[in-house]
Amino acid sequence: MDPDLSALDAYLDERDADGYLIDADSEDSDQYYLSGFDAPDPFLTLYDGETHLLFPRSLEYGRATREARAETVQRYVDFDHAELVEEFGPEEAVSHVFAAFCESYGVESVAVPPRFPLKTADSLRARGVEVTADTDGIVTEIRATKTDEEVEHVRTAQRANEASMAAAEALLRDASVTGEGTLEYDGETLTSERVKEEIEVTLLRHGCSLDETIVACGSDAADPHDRGSGPLSADEPIIVDIFPRDKATKYHADMTRTFCVGDPSETVREWYDLTERAMDAAFDALEPGATGEDVHDAVCDVYEDAGMSTLRSDDRTETGFIHSTGHGVGLDVHELPRLSPAGGELEPGHVVTIEPGLYDPDVGGVRIEDIAVVTEDGYENLTDYEKRLVV
Amino acid sequence: MDPDLSALDAYLDERDADGYLIDADSEDSDQYYLSGFDAPDPFLTLYDGETHLLFPRSLEYGRATREARAETVQRYVDFDHAELVEEFGPEEAVSHVFAAFCESYGVESVAVPPRFPLKTADSLRARGVEVTADTDGIVTEIRATKTDEEVEHVRTAQRANEASMAAAEALLRDASVTGEGTLEYDGETLTSERVKEEIEVTLLRHGCSLDETIVACGSDAADPHDRGSGPLSADEPIIVDIFPRDKATKYHADMTRTFCVGDPSETVREWYDLTERAMDAAFDALEPGATGEDVHDAVCDVYEDAGMSTLRSDDRTETGFIHSTGHGVGLDVHELPRLSPAGGELEPGHVVTIEPGLYDPDVGGVRIEDIAVVTEDGYENLTDYEKRLVV
């Protein structure tokens, strides 16, 4: 994929910086996006209209010359690293190498991402290179708008996601209930861990990996970041939130469903219906020109009108709607744009989740999440999975 | 686990810094180690003899008060965040919150990790807090020495690793060979991807996850970081390098074997024997008081005596022994200590890989890797897996 970096050119122009510099491994999505290279150890990418890479060792050098989307690829040894170590010691030597690398392209000032490593920045500054933290995260901003190819990558990951959600739902549907109200499957207690394993194996078979999955029941489900553990219970809401990454493309999908085996309480039924309405309101607001805040407000309106707390009505609440409405999805599972009070204008090509939810330790949690792409005249929902509380 | 932070106290004393500050999510192992808290979004940990956490939102707050190994847990709202946003805008407001957080503990100067985010550092500096990048990575250094509990975590991950290696070896052993020399299993071409899937599913069943695995054959294997892809061939070396993370403990294991289905070339046989000898030499050198450089030199000696290139004999070589001998393993799969020219003194509790290897695009690659812990009087090899080239 050839990204459109014209916004980066304009950014450097506007700030009068000679280049944009990243020091990270390719787990950093800005690094992967800008360098077009996948490496497990940190390396430098300098963009000055062209892209230049610098590697510590020869190890990645050969592969980078073949694979990276870069005009030049160099290594420390190309800047007399060994001699500099002799003269200055290993720490200071690297700062001389970095400065020489910048100097070789006539770069005397760089903008860098907000989370750029302080040590590298201070090293460059000590050698006279001007380093300014880019408070906007310009490459992160550019990544928010997806090409058609990137949207297809998300769609592919979402198909795998749906297969794994179906596998999880099937386990729950086929579970029996013990006298104590615990779920059983195949003669064994059905746990969060067992359902997650089923999800993860299904994703692996579909070419996806993931670090974590949420299968959270009861009070676990009342904390949106609790991954869930232990036996699953009947009559209680079970939140299943799956956010896999396609191994081939590195793009993510993201989807949540809330299931209940047996008979949910009246409160949970009400929360589920309310959350579906909040979701509809969010989608009604989702279009280019609207802001992320508009979409978030639509959800807060539905919840607050029904008497629920939100962070908008009470910024210290620990129950009710206690997170934002959604986030961008791409190389990172959480990226721009924000569907939150800080969310700016939406544009065609933005891929976002819509994920309203309600939480209370005394009730549990309910969350429903789809993933969609903003289009020229509205949005396309990329999710193809039924919403149904009772399985 | 309660880490021994006396070295951090001494470090702060020596540098006359009031505190040590980390700004990262818990994927950053220093953050996870120091805070004792697992969270997907960045938060601040300030250590001044006690541990203090600061979270942007309420979302993690409740769980952190219950789970984190910290004396105090706070959130932006506790420092008048909303009012500061009104007055200064969102960017500058955060810098006021950070400075107020430090000030509330009387902290006017902090040491920070080398990869501490520049924007946070510059924000604190603008508010009068002195910020110095810790060139040594003191928490990373402390993590290098494992407690008995941590060694057990690695051992448990290594048992899972061995199960997945056995699954991979079984696939290769049971493969048949087509007329064109390609491996087949169950009537289908046996690919790197298929073997990796088997490894990953086995690891999941054993409570481990991993982002990547290497199953590299032929010229793929000549690049130590190539993950491998496509059909596997008979009579060629296949490098299988597996480095899983135990999901419960977050500790890693790491092991490599090189297999050949059929009849390896004379060169590959020689390389394999030479690499086993290099490994023996490394283990002979592995003891407390020796340096990582000593162990690396032992490997280079064996290879160079046999006429092979190493980075020690030629720092630009792209064939021969083109990486270091090993690295620490723990919360990170690559951590201190180094078994390389820069490797310092080894201590009891250091968990390291020993992984000599030889590479040449015309031959392929051979690498063998065990994982061991340095003990009071030598080392204990934590690996229980046979070394055999031909399967």
Residues A86-126 have pLDDT tens digits of 999 988 999 999 999 999 999 999 999 999 999 999 999 99
CB contact (8 A) between residue A116 and residue B118: yes
The two structure tokens encoding residue A16: 């009068």
Taking CA atoms, what residue in A is nearest to B342? A90
Return the sign of the alpha-carbon dihedral for residues B327, B330, B334, B335: negative
End-to-end CA distance of chain B: 41
Q: Closest CB to A58: pick one of B201, B316, B334.
A: B316
DSSP state of A63: H
- Mutation test of the interface with chain B: which of A26, A31, A86, A119, choosing the one with the most B Cβ atoms within 10 A? A119
| ipTM computed for the complex | 0.86
Cβ(B29)–Cβ(B122) under 8 Å? no
Cβ(A232)–Cβ(A201) under 8 Å? no
Return the sign of the alpha-carbon dihedral for residues A328, A334, A338, A341: positive
How many Cβ atoms sit within 10 Å of the Cβ of residue A378? 14
Residue A264 binned pLDDT confidence (cut-offs 50, 70, 90): very high
Q: What dihedral do alpha carbons B31, B33, B35, B39 form, nearest 10°? A: 60
Segment-wise mean pLDDT, segments of 10 residues, chain B, 391 residues: 91 96 96 93 96 88 88 94 92 94 98 96 96 90 96 98 98 95 96 95 90 90 88 97 95 98 97 98 98 98 98 92 97 96 96 98 96 98 97 94
pLDDT of res. B259:
98
Lowest mean pLDDT among A50-54, A313-317, B234-238, B340-344: A313-317
In three-state form (DSSP H/G/I as H, E/B as E, the rest C), the secondary structure along chain B is: CCCCCHHHHHHHHHHCCCEEEEEECCCCHHHHHHHCCCCCCCEEEEECCCEEEEECCCCCHHHHHHHCCCCEEEEHHHHCHHHHHHHHHHHHHHHHHHHHHHHCCCCCEEEECCCCEHHHHHHHHHCCCEEEECCCCHHHHHHHECCHHHHHHHHHHHHHHHHHHHHHHHHHHCCEECCCCEEEECCEECEHHHHHHHHHHHHHHCCEECCCEEEEEHHHHHCCCCCCCCECECCCCEEEEECCEECCCCCECCEEEEEECCCCCHHHHHHHHHHHHHHHHHHHHCCECEEHHHHHHHHHHHHHHCCCCECCCCCCCCCEECCCCEEECCCCCCEEEEECCCCCECCCCEEEEECCEEEECCCEEEECEEEEEEECCEEEECCCCCCCCEC
pLDDT at A211 over 80: no
- Mutation test of the interface with chain A: which of B119, B129, B318, choosing the one with the most A Cβ atoms within 10 A? B119
Helices B192-205 and B148-173 sit at what angle, rounded to 10 degrees?
A: 140
The two structure tokens encoding residue B361: 């695009």
Q: Is B340 on the interface with A (CB under 8 A)?
A: no
pLDDT of res. B120:
96
Counted across chains A and B, CB pairs separated by less than 8 A come out at 114
- How far is it, in rounded angstroms, from Cα B313 to Cα B326? 18
Interstrand relation of B255-259 and B335-339 (parallel, antiparallel or unpaired)? unpaired
> Chain A contacts of B119, Cβ < 8 Å?
114-116, 133, 135
State CA B127 to chain mean position distance.
36
pLDDT of res. A225:
78
Helix (H) or strand (E) holding A254: none
CB contact (8 A) between residue A61 and residue B225: no
Q: In whole angstroms, how far apart are CA B87 and each of A219, B48, B92, B128? A: 38, 30, 9, 19
- Mutation test of the interface with chain B: which of A25, A112, A118, choosing the one with the most B Cβ atoms within 10 A? A118
Return all residues near A127 (Cβ < 8 A) that are at least 6 apart.
A95, A96, A98, A99
Cβ(B331)–Cβ(B29) under 8 Å? yes
Taking CA atoms, what residue in B is nearest to A85? B342
With CA atoms as reference, report the closest residue to A136 among A114, A111, A109, A110. A114
| Pairwise pLDDT comparison (A51 vs A136), residue with the higher score | A51
Highest mean pLDDT among A221-230, A280-289, A310-319, B307-316: A280-289
Q: Quickly tell me which residue has 């938060």 as its tokens.
A: B43
- How far is it, in rounded angstroms, from Cα A229 to Cα A216? 7
Helix (H) or strand (E) holding A220: none
Taking CA atoms, what residue in B is nearest to A341? B90
> What is the phi-psi region of residue B152: left when phi exceeds 0, alpha when psi lies from -120 to 50, beta otherwise?
alpha
Helix (H) or strand (E) holding A375: strand A370-375
pLDDT at A163 over 80: yes
Q: What dihedral do alpha carbons A120, A126, A127, A132 form, nearest 10°? A: 60
CB contact (8 A) between residue B90 and residue A334: no
Helix (H) or strand (E) holding A358: strand A357-360
pLDDT of res. A387:
97
- How far is it, in rounded angstroms, from Cα B314 to Cα B132? 36
pLDDT at A62 over 90: no
Return the sign of the alpha-carbon dihedral for residues A28, A33, A34, A39: positive
pLDDT of res. A146:
97
CB contact (8 A) between residue B323 and residue A59: yes
> Chain A contacts of B90, Cβ < 8 Å?
342
pLDDT of res. A135:
78
Q: Is B362 on the interface with A (CB under 8 A)?
A: no
pLDDT of res. B288:
98
- How far is it, in rounded angstroms, from Cα B167 to Cα B281? 29
Taking CA atoms, what residue in A is nearest to B250? A211
State whether residue A371 is helix, strand or coil: strand
Please give the average per-residue pLDDT across A50-62, as a whole number: 88
Distance from the Cα of B179 to chain A's closest Cα (Å) equals 29
Q: In whole angstroms, how far apart are CA B219 and each of A329, A349, B101, B388? A: 35, 39, 54, 21
Q: Quickly tell me which residue has 């046989």 as its tokens.
A: B269
- Portion 52-91 of B in contact with A at CB < 8 A: 57-63, 77, 82, 90-91
Q: Quickly tell me which residue has 């690559």 as its tokens.
A: B334
To 5 degrees, how large is the angle CA A333–CA A335–CA A337?
135
- How far is it, in rounded angstroms, from Cα A218 to Cα A228? 9
Distance from the Cα of A338 to chain B's closest Cα (Å) equals 14
Cβ(B252)–Cβ(B245) under 8 Å? yes
Lowest mean pLDDT among A62-66, A304-308, B194-198: A62-66
Taking CA atoms, what residue in A is nearest to B210? A211
CB contact (8 A) between residue B315 and residue A82: yes
pLDDT of res. A303:
98
Distance from the Cα of B41 to chain A's closest Cα (Å) equals 9
- Portion 151-170 of B in contact with A at CB < 8 A: none
Q: Is B209 on the interface with A (CB under 8 A)?
A: yes
* Average predicted confidence (pLDDT) for chain A: 95
CB contact (8 A) between residue A225 and residue B60: yes
Across the strands, what pairs with B335?
A: B328
> Quick one: how many helices (H) and strands (E) in chain A?
10, 21
How many Cβ atoms sit within 10 Å of the Cβ of residue A288? 16
- A317, with CB counted inside 10 A (0-12, 13-18, 19+), is middle
DSSP A97-135: HHHHHHHHTT--EEEE-TT-BHHHHHHHHHTT-EEEE-T
pLDDT at A59 over 90: no
What are the structural domains of chain A? 6-143 (3.40.350.10), 145-381 (3.90.230.10)
Distance from the Cα of A108 to chain B's closest Cα (Å) equals 18
Taking CA atoms, what residue in B is nearest to A23? B115
Q: In whole angstroms, how far apart are CA A94 and each of A87, A359, B81? A: 12, 50, 39
> Chain B contacts of A197, Cβ < 8 Å?
204-205
- How far is it, in rounded angstroms, from Cα A268 to Cα A218? 11
Helices A266-285 and A292-305 sit at what angle, rounded to 10 degrees?
A: 150
Residue type, A144: A
pLDDT at A1 over 90: no
CB contact (8 A) between residue A315 and residue B39: no
